[in-house]
Amino acid sequence: MPATDSDFLRRCFDLARLGAGRVSPNPMVGAVLVHEDRIIGEGWHQRYGEAHAEVQAVASVAAADRPLLPQSTLYCSLEPCFHFGQTPPCVDLVLAERIPRVVVSNTDPNPLVAGQSLQKLRAAGVEVLEQVLADEGAYLNRYFFHWIQQQRPYVVLKWAQSADGYLGRAGERTAITGPLAQRLVHRWRSEVDAILVGATTARVDDPRLDNRLFWGPSPLRVVLDWSARLPAAAQLLDDSQPSWVLGPARAGAFRQTEFLNISPADWIPDLLAQLRTAKRAILLVEGGATTLRQFLDRGYWDEIRLLDSPLRLAEGVPAPGVPASARLRESFPLGPDRVQIFTKAV
Ligand code: AOF
Ligand code: ZN
């Protein structure tokens, strides 16, 4: 059975995901060139500021296959760009290569693009099919759509809870989930731009908040330290990686650590605004209970990633509840644990 348009777009999504953690606040984009059911080129947006997926796909075509481009279809998870950004418009590349058919999942919500490329292609006689697997495409790039539409970072709350609903024992670092879940969390860390913990978690767990168990980069670390009670020897103050401390400045020669002047009274919108300015599009909040509740109560969340462990603790710090407005998008077992991903229903 020949492959369908949807099959090739799914391939685009897989390619796009290879850019996770390296392209934000740009979208993850994958592109595939197909001639008579044969893939002759593939590419993805690999790094912020560098070549777009379409450029990579065209560049990957073997010399012998180049004459086939005027009889091929370009599949792209997102509408090709229309504007001169850090790279020239991909729409012009499609026209220059005389590609006669383009299939995309989503139009680009960026106001500089916003359907104009598809229009230009159609006006030039290119056959354009859009909105194929549009929900999957929008889910894949949910942080990018949010970045364009909401003008603030996409906030992901993550917590692990025991079968009887506790985050951990009070005052001590408690391992709840297994090694596979831990590895997944490090993968998530590699895919976000910033990661935050509250003051108590920072003191009790002494986390490093970096990505050690997966390949890829580590995010900016953010820690709440309003009363400067975090010990000077804490790993989050070791200046080993870019870090923001929300609290009074400390003496010492810090090179990668910044002490942010934000008022504890209404700190979440201020922090999100500073992250926006720093072009950090995804914030992962890893606890603890008080911090998670602050985000939940104020409605500053877009996604919840819940790790459910079969372990029973009998007592401890109660986990926050998942709001009724959350919509379950993914659920899968991971070793003894279960992962559930919710997004805010809009
Ligand atoms: C595409 N293909 O692979 C991507 C696109 O600053 P620039 O030049 O990298 O442009 C970034 C914008 O281009 C980004 O906001 C989004 O609208 C689009 N991203 N477009 O044709 C790609 N990554
Ligand atoms: Zn482009």
Judge contact between 142 and 343, C-beta under 8 A: yes
- pLDDT of amino acid 256: 97
Residue 325 per-residue DSSP state: T
Q: What is the DSSP string of 51-114?
A: --HHHHHHHTS-GGGGGGGGG-EEEEEEPPP-S-SSS--HHHHHHHTT--EEEEEE---STTTT
- Which candidate in 54, 79, 191, 286 is catalytic? 54
Structure confidence at residue 346 (pLDDT): 67
What is the length of the chain? 346
Among 81, 110, 130, which residue has the most ligand 1 atoms within 8 Å of its CB, making it the best to mutate?
Answer: 81
Number of the ligand 1 atom closest to the C-alpha atom of 44: 3
- Across the chain, what does the average pLDDT equal? 95
pLDDT per residue as tens digits for the range 154-176: 999 999 999 999 999 998 888 89
Residue in 86, 99, 95, 83 with CA at minimum distance from that of residue 32: 99
Ligand 1 closest atom vs CA 148: 15
The closest-lying atom of ligand 1 relative to the alpha carbon of residue 45 is 3
Closest C-alpha residue for ligand 1 atom 10: 85
CB 241 within 8 A of CB 256: yes
Alpha carbon nearest to ligand 1 atom 20, residue: 81
Residue 177 CA to ligand 1 center (angstroms) comes to 38
- CB contact at 8 A, 222 and 284: no
Kindly give the distance from the C-alpha atom of residue 54 to the centroid of ligand 1, in angstroms, as a whole number: 10
Asked whether the beta carbons of 258 and 274 are under 8 A apart, the reply is: no
* Nearby residues of 111 by Cβ (< 8 Å), 6 or more positions away: 148
Q: Which residues lie with the beta carbon below 6 Å from any ligand 1 atom?
A: 26-27, 29, 45, 52-54, 78, 80-81, 85-87, 90, 108, 110, 113
User: Catalytic annotation on 172?
Assistant: no
Please give the DSSP secondary-structure letter assigned to residue 170: T
Q: For 334-346, what is the mean pLDDT?
A: 93
pLDDT, tens digit (0-9, with 9 covering 90-100), for 57-86:
999 999 999 999 999 999 999 999 999 988
Q: Which letter does DSSP use for residue 295 in this model?
A: H
Strands 220-224 and 243-246: parallel
Ligand in closest contact with the CA of 115:
1
Domains, the chain, with CATH or none: 5-148 (3.40.140.10), 152-344 (3.40.430.10)
Closest by alpha carbon to 274, among 154, 157, 153? 153
Q: How confident is the model at residue 42 (pLDDT cuts 50, 70, 90)?
A: very high
User: How many whole angstroms from 331 Cα to the centroid of ligand 1?
Assistant: 31
Q: What is the pLDDT of residues 260-301, one digit of tens each?
A: 999 999 899 999 999 999 999 999 999 899 999 999 999 999
CA of 274 to the centre of ligand 2 (A): 27
CB 154 within 8 A of CB 146: yes
Does the pLDDT value for residue 31 go beyond 90?
Answer: yes
Count the Cβ atoms, other than its own, within 10 Å of residue 310: 13
Q: 0.85 exceeded by the pTM?
A: yes
Token pair of 96, please? Answer: 């220059």
**What pLDDT is stored for residue 181 in this prediction?**
96
Query: For ligand 1, atom 14, which residue shows the shortest CA distance?
Result: 26
**Token pair of 79 as six digits:** 């509408």
217 alpha carbon, distance to own chain's centre: 13
DSSP secondary structure letter of residue 42 = E
